[in-house]
Amino acid sequence: MLEALSINGGTIETSCPIKPKVTITASMSQYTDKLRFLLIDRLLEQSLTIEVGKCLRRQEERLEEVRLLHVELSGVANLANKCYGNSATIFVSILPALIIRDPELIKHILLKEFHHFTDRFATADEKIDPMGGKNIFLIKGSRWRHLRSNLSTTFSSGKLKRMFPIVVKCAQDLRDYVRETGSSKDNPLDVKDVMARSAIDVIASCMYSIDSGALRDPRGEFRKFGKKVFAFSPKRAIEMLAFFFTPGLIRFVKGMFFQRNSDKFLRGAFTEAVKERETRESFRNDLVDVLLSLKRKKLEEKEIKGIAKKKDTEELKTLGFYHPGQRKIWHSLRIFYLLNCFFPSLEYTDEDLVAQAVIFFTAGFETTSITTGFALYELAMNPQVQKKLREQIGQVLDTHDGHITYEAISDMKYLDMVLAETLRMYPPLPFLDRNCIKDFTIPGTDIVIEKNTPVYIPTLGMHRDPILFPEPLRFRPERFTPENKGSIHRFSYLPFGEGPHMCIGMRFGLLAAKTELVHLLSSWEVAPHAETPRTMVLSPYVLFLRNLGKIPLLFREVQLPVPDDF
């Protein structure tokens, strides 16, 4: 049965035999800076299941001196899990919500009963924030389905293979940059920054056919945009909280999903790419072409409707709508059927297209750089894993004549395991959100999740749950051997989500990450520097998972030759 821990006047009350009373200590000056820290980085990381009251006020401690805003909540989280199992309600502001950590129930929400949870709860106001409100991450209903269906073609196997030489070129540039820059005891490389700049080059080249030059120019426009788009400030903390937890506040705080005016540069770059593509009538099979095809489809629909209204028999014959001998009503029905089945009445403006360009760029470079940066860190801290991976890279390359090919990358199974473990420990988005669009009865119970109830899945908390993943803070790629993967519940491991809302660019992101790592590890050994953190501290101030500070690592050249002719 679903119950809840409630905080009333600073006291946690439960129906469990144990009656702990814990208080919250927070001044209003701490509120804006610390509220997201409480709700996301502690509540979701620890799988804590509590009702959070309408506001935080200074209260006196009772029973134990536990300050929720400043300490780890493992003790409280463990108590919550013992009392309530894998599901519990919380209140965000005054809105009841549900946190789910039961893999079987998650499977129903993300996949089997998806029609009850088709939308994300996160919302933007299109009137004040068109870039946020129109992008595929936040749009709802039929608009999302149509856009998702069209954009998915960007990442088909055929297109990934055609993009692969571009990815390799960017990875070679990265390898050469490390060689030219060098690292020493006094000059380590900050892989957090370097991998972010390299990821920008990959995304810009593959998605927009633009040479961003971000790797070699840290002060370039693309890198500036990448840093600015989700940069933290107290106002940004409130905006992000509103987007994901209290959408009703968005208009009140005038929330913008991307930093105000931060999309101007990418809007200009994308517009120039479109003009160049239309002027030269070139076709490069990238995201720009996919987005332009959406506009062309709408123009085709308008053209056909215009012809149909004119009842131009010759033009109808050309389009296949008119067959001599058939009554006119059948012509009309055929036109009606084709227009509604193949040309959904969804108009895509230039702003719609730019919104997709912005979200693909930001989400793409963030998730790829997060994965490669943390992977290099863990490999540096676990030299035996790094040695094993490098040996397999060499063995696979030997079977492919020393060339880094698409097929060679696919054959590197231990690399798959290393990345899978990296994504377990550091999922780019630490939680998933859904909105219940119609009442849903949890299977096997009489419990109803009511319409408009937000549902949160604490990905980071589940990935670090010792019940689901023993020794969760230990980097152990062997968890993901073919034999061991069978014991991992599919819906307990969700670095890219699952079901129809699964990350659309997952395959591209993994391909880019693998290619970069292969080029680096085949030429370099990574090792910790004196300033490398021995324990990774995650930042409470960002949407995508990031660590606090830099990740300085040393690069030592090794002898595993990789040809430069591919």
Three-class SS of 484-508? HHCCCCHHHCCCCCCHHHCCCCHHH
- Which pTM value belongs to this model? 0.78
What is the model's pLDDT at position 59?
Answer: 30
Per the domain annotation, does 1 fall within a domain?
yes
Overall residue count recorded for the chain in this entry: 566
Per the domain annotation, does 311 fall within a domain?
yes
The token duo for 389 is: 């991976």
Across the strands, what pairs with 528?
553
With beta carbons less than 8 A apart as the criterion, state whether 526 and 418 touch: no
Per the domain annotation, does 187 fall within a domain?
yes
Can you list the residues of the chain whose pLDDT is less than 50? 1-80, 82-84, 88, 299-300, 303, 315, 319, 328-329, 342-343, 561-566
Cα→Cα distances 385→417, 418, 475, Å: 11, 8, 9
Annotated binding site: 503
CB atoms near residue 50 (< 10 Å): 25
With beta carbons less than 8 A apart as the criterion, state whether 415 and 389 touch: yes
Q: Do 439 and 510 belong to one domain?
A: no
Phi then psi for residue 14, to 5 deg, are: -135, 165
Pick the last residue of a domain from 486, 511, 530.
486
Residues 130, 110: Cα–Cα separation, whole Å: 27
With beta carbons less than 8 A apart as the criterion, state whether 102 and 490 touch: no
Amino acid identity at 329: I
- What's the domain count of the chain? 2
Q: Do 370 and 501 belong to one domain?
A: yes
The token duo for 88 is: 């519990």
Annotated binding site for heme: 503
Per the domain annotation, does 180 fall within a domain?
yes
What is the model's pLDDT at position 94?
Answer: 56
With beta carbons less than 8 A apart as the criterion, state whether 212 and 250 touch: no
Per the domain annotation, does 157 fall within a domain?
yes
Q: Do 265 and 183 belong to one domain?
A: yes
Q: Do 424 and 440 belong to one domain?
A: no
Q: Do 223 and 95 belong to one domain?
A: no
Task: Specify whether the backbone of 425 is left (phi greater than 0), alpha (psi in -120 to 50) or beta.
Answer: alpha
Task: Specify whether the backbone of 481 is left (phi greater than 0), alpha (psi in -120 to 50) or beta.
Answer: beta
Residues 291, 288: Cα–Cα separation, whole Å: 5
Q: Do 87 and 227 belong to one domain?
A: no
Q: Do 477 and 511 belong to one domain?
A: no
Pick the last residue of a domain from 486, 513, 530.
486
Residues 451, 444: Cα–Cα separation, whole Å: 19
What is the model's pLDDT at position 90?
Answer: 52
Helix locations, 413-458, DSSP H? 413-425
Q: Do 338 and 225 belong to one domain?
A: yes
Residues 120, 457: Cα–Cα separation, whole Å: 12
Q: Do 346 and 479 belong to one domain?
A: no
Three-class SS state of 211 = coil
- Residue 61, domain extent: 1-103+433-486
Per the domain annotation, does 224 fall within a domain?
yes
Q: What is the CATH number of the domain that holds 330?
A: 1.10.630.10
Burial profile 443-482: b = 16 or more Cβ within 10 angstroms, e = fewer? eeeeeebeeebbbbbbbbbbbbbeebbeebeebbbebbee
Nearest alpha carbon to residue 322 among 338, 341, 343: 338
DSSP characters over 430-490: S-EEEE--S-EEPTTS--EE-TT-EEEE-HHHHHT-TTTSSSTTS--GGGGSHHHHTTS-G
Per the domain annotation, does 443 fall within a domain?
yes
The token duo for 351 is: 């702003």
For the four alpha carbons of 499, 501, 504 and 506, in that order, the dihedral sign comes to negative
> Which residues make Cβ contacts (< 8 Å) with residue 349, sequence separation at least 6?
none
Q: Do 188 and 83 belong to one domain?
A: no
Residues 42, 36: Cα–Cα separation, whole Å: 9
Residues 89, 439: Cα–Cα separation, whole Å: 16
CB atoms near residue 251 (< 10 Å): 13
SS3 content of the chain, % helix, strand, coil (to 5): 50, 10, 40
Residue with token string 């390799």: 168
Q: Do 366 and 473 belong to one domain?
A: no
Task: Specify whether the backbone of 44 is left (phi greater than 0), alpha (psi in -120 to 50) or beta.
Answer: alpha
Neighbour order of strands in the sheet with 87-92: 87-92, 95-100, 454-457, 432-435
Per the domain annotation, does 146 fall within a domain?
no
Q: Do 390 and 444 belong to one domain?
A: no
